[in-house]
Chains A and B, each alone.
Chain A
Amino acid sequence: MEPHTLAPPTQTATLDIEGMTCASCARFVEKALTRTPGVQRAVVNLATEKATVDYEPAQIDRAGLAAAVVNAGYAVAAPPAPTQSAAERTAELDAQKAAAYARLKRRFQVALGLTLVIMPASMLLMLPAAMQRVPMAAANYVLLLLTSPVLLYSGREFYTSAWNAFRHRAANMDTLVAVGTGAAFLYSLAATVAPGLFAARGLTAEVYYDTTATIITLILLGKVLEQRAKTRTSAAIRQLIGLQARTARLLRPDGSATDVPIEQVQPGDVVLVRPGEKIATDGVVLDGHSAVDESMLTGESLPVEKQAGAPVYGATLNKTGAFRFRVTQVGADTMLAHIIRLVEDAQGSRAPVQRLADRVSAIFVPTVVVIALLTFVLWFDLAPEGTRLPLALTNFVAVLIIACPCALGLATPTAIMVGTGKGAEYGVLVRNAEALEKAHQVTTVLLDKTGTLTRGEPAVTAFVPAPDVADAAALLAQLAAVERQSEHPLAAAVVRYAAAQVGAPALPAVTEFRAYEGRGAGATVSGARVLIGNRRLLQEHGIELGPALSNHAEALLAEANTLLYAAADGRAVALLAVADTLRESSAEAVRRLQQLGLEVVMLTGDNQPTAARVAAQVGIRRYYAEVLPQDKAGKVQELQAEGRVVAMVGDGINDAPALAQADLGLAIGSGTDVAMEAAGITLMRSDLQGVVTAIELSRRTLGVIRQNLFFAFVYNTLGIPVAAGLLYPFFGLTLSPMLAAAAMALSSVSVLTNSLRLRRFRPR
Chain B
Amino acid sequence: MDLAEIFVTAGGLALAGLVVWYFFFAAPEAAVSAVSAAGGVQEVAVTVKGGYSPAVIEVQHGRPVQLSFYRDEDADCSEEVVFPDFNLRRALPAFQTTLIELLPQQPGRFEFTCGMGMLRGSLVVK
Contacts and interface: CB of A to CB of B under 8 A. Distances in A.
B86 to A, nearest CB: 8
Interface in A314-369: 344-350, 357-358, 361-366, 369
Nearest to B91: A93
Given A348-B83, A350-B84, A373-B16, A164 B35 contact: no
A174 B116 contact: no
B87 A432 contact: yes
Nearest to A385: B2
Nearest to A201: B4
A172 interface: yes
A13 to B, nearest CB: 11
A223 B119 contact: no
A373 B19 contact: yes
Interface in A11-63: 12, 14, 43, 45, 48, 50, 52
Contacts of B117: 357-358, 361-362, 409
A83 B120 contact: no
Contact of A361 (B83, B89, B116): B116
B118 A345 contact: no
A346 B82 CA distance: 12
If over half of B's interface residues share one DSSP class (helix, strand or loop), that class is named, otherwise mixed; here it is: mixed
What 6 pairs across the A-B complex have the smallest Cβ distances?
Answer: A168-B51, A164-B50, A409-B116, A348-B89, A161-B75, A350-B84
B84 A92 contact: no
A167 B52 CA distance: 10
Interface residues of B, number: 55
Contacts of A116: none
A660 to B, nearest CB: 17
Given A169-B22, A348-B88, A350-B84, A373 B12 contact: yes
Given A160-B75, A348-B89, A362-B120, A413 B19 contact: no
Contact of B98 (A81, A162, A167, A171): A81
Contacts of A103: 74
Nearest to B52: A168
A169 B52 CA distance: 10
B26 interface: yes
Contact of B99 (A83, A168, A409): A83
13 contacts: A50-B38, A52-B39, A170-B23, A170-B119, A223-B76, A348-B87, A358-B113, A374-B12, A376-B8, A377-B12, A380-B9, A381-B8, A385-B2
B96 to A, nearest CB: 6
A381 B5 contact: yes
Nearest to A344: B89
A612 interface: no
Interface string B41-81: 00000000111110100000000000010000111110000
Interface in A61-77: none
A409 B91 CA distance: 16
Interface string A125-137: 0000000000000
A157 B77 CA distance: 11
Contacts of B55: 168
Contacts of B75: 157, 160-161, 164, 174
Given A43-B38, A93-B91, A347-B89, A172 B19 contact: no
Interface in B84-126: 84, 86-91, 93-94, 96-99, 113-120
Given A164-B73, A381-B5, A373 B15 contact: yes
B1 interface: yes
B29 to A, nearest CB: 8
Given A172-B77, A172-B118, A381-B9, 17 more contacts: A45-B38, A80-B97, A81-B97, A160-B75, A161-B73, A161-B75, A164-B75, A169-B26, A170-B118, A170-B119, A173-B118, A347-B89, A361-B117, A363-B23, A369-B16, A409-B117, A413-B89
B31 interface: no
Contacts of B74: 100, 103, 157
Contacts of B38: 43, 45, 50, 52
A350 B26 contact: no
Interface in A146-164: 157, 160-164
A469 interface: no
Given A100-B76, A413-B115, A345 B88 contact: yes
A52 B75 CA distance: 35
A171 B23 contact: yes
B120 A370 contact: no
Contacts of B88: 345, 348
Contacts of A349: 84, 87, 89
B30 interface: no
A172 B119 CA distance: 8
A502 interface: no
B48 to A, nearest CB: 9
Interface in A350-406: 350, 357-358, 361-366, 369-370, 373-374, 376-377, 380-381, 385, 392, 405-406
A369 B15 CA distance: 10
A166 B55 CA distance: 14
Nearest to A408: B116
Interface string A251-274: 000000000000000000000000
B24 A376 contact: no
Given A350-B82, A380-B8, A381-B5, A168 B89 contact: no
